[in-house]
């Protein structure tokens, strides 16, 4: 079994054991829930499993704070966001250790996420002063028309465990830049990263009630209902499964909230025979096994042209065999553990199904009981049939399933044969192929000749049942604003 790892922090101030509401740390609760190290099962911290009334308190605080925060100058909001960015970078080692400890990903990957997360505060510090309106030539000669973008109001933010820092900042950064206040519900498996960011928001000087974090494990559905049905909350942003997104959308219908959802994916990665083989292999490995495959945009289906299938699979396997799996905080480890033992079951089910339907085993992989119940060595399969479950269902784990194809038309048909459409990847040296295939794919994002595209400048989001709305980029702030049109009539005719 993996031995206990308790990181040493420069400052323990980032480790919080309470909710953060209206500028205060609140522990009141008759129950607690445990945050555990997924690699060892050891308890990291006990947090209050709060009653649903804490959500009402947080909403009321955010609603009250919004009345003044919405009128803060864009330069003041930019200053707060820039301070948050600086504080995250100043504390990057501690934040990375907290993230790795509660999530299980390697420390290097955790620190990489903190850099990515902080970049959204930096980006939106620069975007806050650029929330522009428009002037419009009216159809009536004596009228004048102009618009301005106003903050939508209190925003409920519900985040997942797999990116416990970045999923917060790319939502909160845009909301704060627009002049909105927020109530954040982090996943109960990884709440410590959210509380650390709340501590930094406090240190940055954000007014009380602007940034709130509520905590619960057993009452998560009730917390969601509160955020969705409260008339004081004017927007909900959620990252998670499509099934839960549909539930939240129904709950929000009673108040017709503004919504943005980043939901499930089933990303195809397509490798054409004219691709740079070594480059494609390196990028595909990075894409597939970031977070050990527990990301919404990692490649789930590998479509490899028949003529290069065996060579690609062999080179890919050699890279995978060099992985060092272990506790994320142990030096030299390249890949950590799964979030919980249940996550492994789907990997095994998809592997078994594909093999029974004719797939070839390139790297067997499997559980690593000597390390612990959450450790799994990646499985690589080639010549997987399109009829396999992995072709139509998201595995969300370390299974690489390579499906052969012959033509561009065939593979586009395979790739689009799904109800979701978040990300896709295309590898080819032929610019005609890159253009035509990327345009034909039914996804919100297409990454060409690179397996990792995470960047605060990129509009992030999907189509179909992968959700709607965009996070990051110049478009990310739009979902946190509403357009107000002002019409001035009865003016003199133009001279």
Tokens of 247: 């539930």
Count CA atoms closer than 13 A to 240's CA, side-chain side: 20
Catalytic residues: 262
Q: Which long-range contacts (CB under 8 A, 24 or more apart) does 443-450 make?
A: 443/267, 444/470, 445/297, 447/423, 449/275, 449/276, 449/279, 449/280, 449/283, 450/283, 450/425
| Closest to 42 measured CA to CA, from 438, 329, 272, 264 | 329
CA proximity to 165, closest of 199, 147, 192, 141: 192
Token digits of residue 268:
């195809």
For the stretch 439-466, what's the b/e string if a residue is b when 16 or more beta carbons lie within 10 angstroms of its beta carbon?
A: ebbbbbbbbbeebeebebebebbbebbb
Nearest one of 48, 59, 33 to 226, comparing CA atoms: 59
| CA 131 – CA 477 distance, rounded (Å) | 8
Secondary structure letter of residue 4 according to DSSP: P
Is residue 257 within 8 Å of 235, Cβ to Cβ? yes
Q: Give the residue among 457, 455, 454 at the shortest CA–CA distance from 473.
A: 457
For 375, list phi and psi in degrees, rounded to 5.
-100, 135
Q: Where are the beta strands (DSSP E) in 299-378?
A: 299-305, 360-363, 366-367, 376-377
CB 403 within 8 A of CB 391: yes
- Kindly state the helix (H) or strand (E) to which residue 378 belongs, with its residue range: none
Which residues lie closer than 8 Å to 226 by C-beta, 6 or more apart? 52, 55, 56, 59
For residue 177, give the 3-state DSSP assignment.
helix
By three-state DSSP, how is residue 58 classified?
Answer: helix
The count of other CB atoms within 10 Å of the CB of residue 474 is 12
345/43 Cα distance (integer angstroms): 23
């Amino acid at each position: 079994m993996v031995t206990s790892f308790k990181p040493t922090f420069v400052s323990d101030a980032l480790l919080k054991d309470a909710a953060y509401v209206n500028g205060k740390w609140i522990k009141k609760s008759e129950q607690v829930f445990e945050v555990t190290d997924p690699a060892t099962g050891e308890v990291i911290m006990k947090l209050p499993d709060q009653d649903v009334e804490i959500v009402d308190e947080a909403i009321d605080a955010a609603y009250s704070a919004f009345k003044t925060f919405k009128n803060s100058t864009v330069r003041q909001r930019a200053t707060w966001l820039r301070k948050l960015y600086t504080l995250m970078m100043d504390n990057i080692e501690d934040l990375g250790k907290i993230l790795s400890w509660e999530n299980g990903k390697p420390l290097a990957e955790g620190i990489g996420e903190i850099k990515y997360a902080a970049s959204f505060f930096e980006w939106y510090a620069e975007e806050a002063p650029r929330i522009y309106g428009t002037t419009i030539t009216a159809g009536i000669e004596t009228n004048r028309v102009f618009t301005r973008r106003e903050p939508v109001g209190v925003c409920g933010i519900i985040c997942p465990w797999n990116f416990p820092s970045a999923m917060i900042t790319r939502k909160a950064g845009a909301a704060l830049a627009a002049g909105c206040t927020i109530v954040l519900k982090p996943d109960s498996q990884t709440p410590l990263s959210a509380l650390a960011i709340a501590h930094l928001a406090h240190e940055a000087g954000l007014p009380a009630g602007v940034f709130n974090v509520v905590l619960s494990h057993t009452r998560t559905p009730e917390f969601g209902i509160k955020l969705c049905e409260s008339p004081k909350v004017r927007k909900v942003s959620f990252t998670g499964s499509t099934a839960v997104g549909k539930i939240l959308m129904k709950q929000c219908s009673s108040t017709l909230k503004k919504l943005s959802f980043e939901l499930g994916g089933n990303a195809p990665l397509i490798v054409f025979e004219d691709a740079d083989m070594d480059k494609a292999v390196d990028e595909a490995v990075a894409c597939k096994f970031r977070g050990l495959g527990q990301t919404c945009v990692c490649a789930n289906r590998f479509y490899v042209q028949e003529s290069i299938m065996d060579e690609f699979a062999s080179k890919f396997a050699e890279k995978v065999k060099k992985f060092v799996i272990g506790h994320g905080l142990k030096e030299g480890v390249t890949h950590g553990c799964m979030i919980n033992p249940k996550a492994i079951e789907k990997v095994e089910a998809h592997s078994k199904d594909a093999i029974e339907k004719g797939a070839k085993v390139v790297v067997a992989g499997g559980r690593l009981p000597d390390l612990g119940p959450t450790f799994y060595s990646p499985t690589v399969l080639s010549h997987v049939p399109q009829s396999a479950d992995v072709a139509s269902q998201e595995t969300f784990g370390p299974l690489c399933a390579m499906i052969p194809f012959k033509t561009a038309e065939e593979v586009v048909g395979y790739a689009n044969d799904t109800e979701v459409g978040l990300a896709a990847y295309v590898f080819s040296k032929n610019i005609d192929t890159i253009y035509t295939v990327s345009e034909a794919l039914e996804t919100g994002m297409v990454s060409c000749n690179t397996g990792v595209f995470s960047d605060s400048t990129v509009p992030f989001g999907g189509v179909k049942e992968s959700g709607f709305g965009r996070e990051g980029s110049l478009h990310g702030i739009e979902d946190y604003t509403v357009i107000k049109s002002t019409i001035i009539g009865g003016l003199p005719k133009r001279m």
